[in-house]
C-alpha cells in the first residue's frame, strides 16, 4: 500500500485552509447582520450610522476569508 502523494496532501491542505478560514468570517458576518437588524428595529432613525458601521465591519471580517483564499491558492500552485 502506497502512502498519500504530495499532490494529494497539498490539495487537502488547501481545502482545510480555505474551509477553516471561511468559518470564522461566515459566523462573524451572520452575527454582525443580526446585531445590525436588532439595532435598526430598536432605533430606525439611526439607519445611516448603523449601516455604515455594519458594512465596514463586514469588510474587515471578509478580509480574513480573502487571506485564507490567498493561502489556499499559494498551497495549490506554489508549494
Model confidence at 2: pLDDT above 80: no
Interior/surface letters 52-76, b for 16+ CB within 10 angstroms, e for the rest: eebeebbeebeeebeebeeebeebb
d(CA 56, CA 72): 25
Write the CB contacts of 57 (distance below 8 Å, at least 6 apart in sequence). 32
> How far, in Å, are 2, 15, 24, 25, 78 from residue 65 at the CA level?
35, 13, 8, 6, 19
Model confidence at 30: pLDDT above 80: yes
Model confidence at 1: pLDDT above 60: no
pTM above 0.85, yes or no: no
9-77 — its CATH code? 1.20.20.10
d(CA 47, CA 66): 28
Amino acid at each position: 500500500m502506497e502512502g498519500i502523494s504530495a499532490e494529494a496532501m497539498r490539495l487537502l491542505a488547501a481545502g482545510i485552509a480555505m474551509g477553516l478560514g471561511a468559518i470564522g468570517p461566515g459566523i462573524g458576518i451572520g452575527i454582525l447582520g443580526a446585531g445590525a437588524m436588532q439595532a435598526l428595529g430598536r432605533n430606525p432613525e439611526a439607519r445611516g450610522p448603523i449601516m455604515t458601521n455594519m458594512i465596514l465591519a463586514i469588510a474587515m471580517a471578509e478580509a480574513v476569508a480573502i487571506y485564507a483564499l490567498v493561502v489556499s491558492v499559494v498551497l495549490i500552485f506554489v508549494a
